Structure 1
Amino acid sequence: MLEIAALVVSLVALAVTGAVSFRQLRLTEHANTLPVLVDLFREHRSVRLAQARQVVHEQLSAYDLSAGLAGLPEDDRHLVRELAWFYDNLGAMVAHGVVDIEPVSGYLGGWVISVWESLQPLVQAERAKRAQNACRIRTAGRSTSRTCTTSSARLLRTELAQERICGGFRSTEHR
């Protein structure tokens, strides 16, 4: 009987140790994520990205979005590209589990969705433009077609990131 009691105590100790270890792991993950989130939120509040959001919401519809980024004046093009890249990077971090979606959606959820809805026609125009502006690359003695405009390709990746994030934002109660 004493052996069974010792076994039970050992199993309980093992379970408690496992639970404490798991909790410590989660706390460490959050401690590593916090500086990243603080930097992201600080950048999102920056004057430059605030200007970019203002351009997207107040001026973007006045431009010919069928021309893609080229249809925007240079200053606005830089702002829109910078905002798209910010959300692209944010989406990649969420998609790869670098940061949890809950704090991101709680803080940025509504912004991401509204910006994406405004940028979607521009991104679709860039996608069409990319398909038309393929360049030739020599690989293994034959030529293959691929996108040659970095800004267009990056903006197109934004669409996938926005869809991933927006799906997560829409599935949470934080908007």
Structure 2
Amino acid sequence: MQETVALPALIVAFLALAVSGYLAYRQASLMRLSNQLPLLIDLIRELRSTEFLERERFVNSELKGYDPGLGYADLPEEAADNLQHVKSLFDSIGALVAFKVIDERAAISIFGFRAKRAWASMQPFVEVERGKRAGNYGPYFEHFVCLIEETPPEKITKDLRLRRLPASVSKPREERRPVDLAQPNHAAARGRPDTPPPADF
């Protein structure tokens, strides 16, 4: 009889422990998310700023016109300033990911494409600068790009099963036939608008 009574009590105690453990995990996850949110919003705001977009455009389109052998420090002031600014922001994102301050998958999904593109543009300069400094230059940026290579943004969005709208198919515009006003039967030549044909009921 005692064993019969003890078994339900044990099951109830186990369920209570499982539920409390889940709630604790859920609360910790929500707290972590609430801590990440301000950082993500600040980073998104910075990457969307006019100043950063201009610097990023310079790095991706004009930096290739400079000699990578100059590294960073020996570049002209404008080029060096733009490279350093873009590198520092993505380096900071990489550091936040490495120390698990922000979620890795969220960072890759939001910033991955632009980080990978910027790294491709400045990698030769970073490597030369590392040789000059005999130390690390942009290590977290490179780490972040490695993570992006391992888990591309498109894989993350696919895993999230984001919904898509049907693809729009653009129809070719109908060619308008030239109007020959010399034709006596044409309505415009008769000075009155065309009348629509009677409705077919």
Instruction: Assess same fold via TM > 0.5.
Output: yes
> Which of 33, 42, 52 is matched with 1:30 structurally?
33
1:91 aligns with 2:101: no
Quote the Cα distance in structure 2 between the aligned partners of 1:157 and 1:7.
58
Q: Which deviates more, 122-131 or 91-100?
A: 122-131
Deviation at 1:116, TM superposition (A): 0.6
- The letter for the 1-side match of 2:53 is A
- In structure 1, the residue matched to 2:137 is 157
> Which of 66, 69, 72 is matched with 1:69 structurally?
72
- The letter for the 2-side match of 1:165 is F
> Which of 145, 148, 152 is matched with 1:166 structurally?
145
Quote the Cα distance in structure 2 between the aligned partners of 1:119 and 1:128.
15
Alpha-carbon contact 1:64-1:71 (below 8 Å) kept: no
Gaps of 5+ in 2: 155-201
Deviation at 1:174, TM superposition (A): 1.2
Quote the Cα distance in structure 2 between the aligned partners of 1:173 and 1:85.
22
Which structure features the higher share of helix residues? 1
Quote the Cα distance in structure 1 between the aligned partners of 2:102 and 2:137.
19
1:112 aligns with 2:91: no
- In structure 1, the residue matched to 2:84 is 81
Alpha-carbon contact 1:88-1:157 (below 8 Å) kept: no
Alignment partner of 1:15: what SS?
helix
Which structure features the higher share of strand residues? 1
Alpha-carbon contact 1:70-1:77 (below 8 Å) kept: yes
CA deviations on 1:83-142 (whole Å, 9 max, x unpaired) are 1111111111000000011111111111111111111110111112224xxxxxxxxxxx
List structure 1 segments (4+ residues) > 3 angstroms apart after TM superposition. none
Alignment partner of 1:157: what SS?
coil
- In structure 2, the residue matched to 1:7 is 10
Deviation at 1:54, TM superposition (A): 0.8
User: Which has the larger Rg?
Assistant: 2
Quote the Cα distance in structure 2 between the aligned partners of 1:10 and 1:104.
40
Quote the Cα distance in structure 2 between the aligned partners of 1:28 and 1:108.
23
Alpha-carbon contact 2:68-2:128 (below 8 Å) kept: yes
